Structures are given as structure tokens and as C-alpha cells.
Structure 1
């Protein structure tokens, strides 16, 4: 995985839900220099729940799962989110920021800017590649069952991975997901909404080392910032 460098302290954080992400940002940034100037942007900022409901996936469209500012879960069409992200990126002035950090681990084609863009998807892909090279059986937890098919594309053989779903924003099903992934060597929780407490529940149920994509992402970003990243 190529490692871009961040030469400055002005960071734009972009969520596919609504900003600010009080469930992610404080935890994610705690291992970094407190002097970083953080501004958050959201693809769903300014929308009512009724307006967001109209962005729901239709007819088998790919979905993305995120969070409203009131803490509720929202499931949107990936295509609709991509459209809205284009407008979000237009608002990020390259003269006022030094880098963009995405708060979504999905592959987002609209996440393109003249500034360096850091994506959890790249961290996830790099970790999966390393685990496959080590012949580990990887367990992957996605926030929505409809996203499992897309995750399967990261693997070439059926016996390389096992899959489960559990939302970080709804009913607690972490132990249930962990039970499904007992026959693995490592579990990756693939959503930036998953935190260490959720990972601990999965690990206790599966008795398998469990990590979140948030941890993987900040490990890589920490290297780019040349700061100490969370373990």
C-alpha cells in the first residue's frame, strides 16, 4: 500500500452520513496530535429523515450504511451517495485543507480531489491481501447482509473467508456474528462505525482475534502524519 504524506494540520473528514460523527472522530483522532484542525463534512448534511428515505436503494442497487446526527441508522443507495459526495468534495477548498480523510470503508469512486484523499477501503484491502498471503481464513463482518456479496469479491477461493453481518447503529448482534465466524483465524469488522467495544464482543463470542477497519485506517493514517497511531 503506497503511503502518501500529510504536510499540514488542516484535515477534512468526510462521512457518507451526517456530520459531525461524534461516534467516530474523537476516538479516531485520540492517538494523533491534538493540534490538528478538524472540519467534518457529510453527504447527508441538511437533509431530513424523509428526504434521506428517498435515497434508499431500489431494485437490487448496492447499499451503504451510515448514521444520522441523532444516532439512527440509515441505508442509502451507493449511487445516490456517490452523487452527493461529488458536491461535498466541491465544497472542500484545497487552500484551506491539507488532506481529506474518508469515514467510510466502501469503495467510493467520487472520493477524488486535488488534495490527498485517505480511504479506509485502501487500508481494508491491504490487510486482506496480507492475510490471504499468510493463508489465514478471514472473517468479515459487514453492517448489512446485502453488502456481503461485494466483500466476497476480495477473495478468489470460497475457503479463504467467512462472512456475517451486524449493524453498529441498530440491535446488538455482535455475539451472534462472532458465533458464525469461529472457524476463522482473524476477524475484520468492515465499517467505520464499529468500535473497540463492539470488536471485544465479537472476539469474546468467536475466540478469534478481532480488529476494526477504524483501527486499520488510523494505523495507516498515523504513519502518513508521522504520529503515533492507535494500537
Structure 2
């Protein structure tokens, strides 16, 4: 069984079906905000995430570490492989015997391998648009950014992708786990290659879970 950690609330119907299509293995999703007073840990700035009712909230950075550690502790004991459902930088947490995948690190490695010396078009959440260029510039030859909202409250993915293509982008990055396979397909209508975080994560998990019985026990707080 594969553990999934969302910084919002579970379930994540926008992410779990895409992963299931790749993995073909059972998953269990735990949310950092499950059973939590959301108003007490959110604010005007932070990491945007989806709640169980489909709305979004900004989780304060200072609250994130303890919330995620509690979520890790609530994963079933038999879960030995888990992953963050977030493309941002996550705190160093974990538990003994759990291999915890940092999706943001996987995505940065993928972008660095594909976008070196190329013009990367980043489709960013509106709440992250101001920092998107700085975040991705170390991994690409040049970065252009446009706002797109997978949660249906802001700019359209297809239009944002078309705008970036018109600016000379050579490939597109969907910079949020909330972007679905449908969003990927909409961005791909530009004719450009699209980096889809759920696809990157799903195939990384599949590669590891093929040898899951041989995953070593690691120390608390260690992750990849």
C-alpha cells in the first residue's frame, strides 16, 4: 500500500485517480488538515491546497511541519512508501521504516533534466505567480510564467499555455499537484511537451514499488 500525504484535506479526487491509473496499486491518502481547525492554521500567505469541499486555503509555512508530521504518524503501520502531494518545498519529517518521496525534489530534477538551456513555460497557481520565476530559473535556460488555476476559480489552463507558447516556450510545466490529466491534455493542445507532476510522481512510485519488499528501513526524518 502506498501512502499519500496532502497538505490539505483528504480525499484528493483531483489527484488520486491519475495516480491510480499509473500505479495499479492500492493507496491511502491522509491530509494534514484532516480534523483540524482550518482557520487556526491558515492565513493570507502560505501554500495553497484543496479542502474536502473543493474550496482552497493557504496553509501557513510555520504550521506545516507539525501538521505533516501528525499526518505521517496517522498513516497505517504497513505503509513503507509514501509521497507528498505537493510540488513545493516540504519540511524534513518522517518516521522509522518509511521511505517518503519529496515530490518537489523529483519535479525539480525532472525540469532540470528537460529544460536546461531551454525556455520553460510555467503554469503557476495565481497565489504563487510572484515567486514562480525565481523558483524555476535555476533549472531552465529561461523561464516565462502565466497564472492558471486547477481549482476552477481563476485563469484557464489552455489559455495560459497558449500565451506561454506565443512567448516562445519550448515546454510547459504544470506547477501544482492539483492539475489533472484533463489539464495536462488542455496544455498539450499547444503542441508543446508538458511536465505533469502527478505523472512524474506516479512513475517514480511505480519504479520503487516494483521492488517494495527490498526497500531498506531508514531513520526517522530521512527522505528522498
Q: Normalised by the shorter chain, which TM-score bucket? A: 0.7 to 0.9
Deviation at 1:119, TM superposition (A): 2.2
Q: TM-score, normalised by structure 1?
A: 0.79
**Mapped partners of 2:188, 2:22: distance in 1:** 23
Task: State whether structure 2 residue 186 is matched by structure 1 residue 195.
Answer: no
**210 and 55 in structure 1: CA distance in 2 versus 1, 3 angstrom threshold:** same
Between the two proteins, the alignment pairs up a number of residues equal to 207
**Mapped partners of 1:14, 1:26: distance in 2:** 15
Matching of residues 44-193 of structure 1 within 5 Å: 44-47=33-36, 51-58=37-44, 61=45, 63-92=46-75, 95-114=77-96, 115-133=98-116, 135-149=117-131, 152-156=134-138, 160-171=142-153, 173-182=156-165, 183-193=168-178
SS at match of 2:8: coil
2:6 aligned partner: 15
Deviation at 1:105, TM superposition (A): 1.3
Q: Where do 5+ consecutive residues of structure 1 fail to align?
A: 1-9
Asked if the contact 2:122–2:172 (Cα under 8 Å) also holds between the matched residues in 1, the reply is yes
CA RMSD of aligned residues (A): 2.4
After superposition, give the CA deviation of every residue in 1:179-226 in whole Å (9 maximum; x if it has no partner).
Answer: 33111111010111101211222232x442223111111122221123
Q: Where do 5+ consecutive residues of structure 2 fail to align?
A: 212-224
SS at match of 1:117: strand
**Mapped partners of 1:148, 1:111: distance in 2:** 27
